[in-house]
Amino acid sequence: MYPGPDFQTLPISPTELAMICQVFDELLEEYHLPHEGPDADDLAVRLFTIYQSGVRDSELLKKLTIPVQR
């Protein structure tokens, strides 16, 4: 049986990157986080991890990428 796509090694298209950036910016605004710093870094890591797991829907990405409160 042929395994499914390996989302961690597939390249990210400019359209997909724009969507990820939009989700990131919306989450920063929604949770009143600065664009730089440890909270933004943690958020970006979680967002890309979820994206690389195969989630491509922007609304689902937002729901799954909930910032950790420090």
pLDDT for 8-60, tens place per residue? Answer: 667 889 999 999 999 999 999 999 999 999 999 999 999 999 999 999 999 99
Residues 16 and 38: their CA atoms lie apart, in Å, by 24
Residue 55 φ then ψ, to 5°: -75, 120
* pLDDT above 60 (res 1): no
Residues 18 and 7: their CA atoms lie apart, in Å, by 17
Contacts of 42 (CB under 8 A, 6+ apart): 67, 68
Confidence of residue 66 (pLDDT cuts 50, 70, 90): confident
Does pTM surpass 0.85? Answer: no
Residue 48 tokens read as: 């890309």
For the chain, the domains span: 14-64
- What is the identity of the amino acid at 49? T
pLDDT at 3: 53
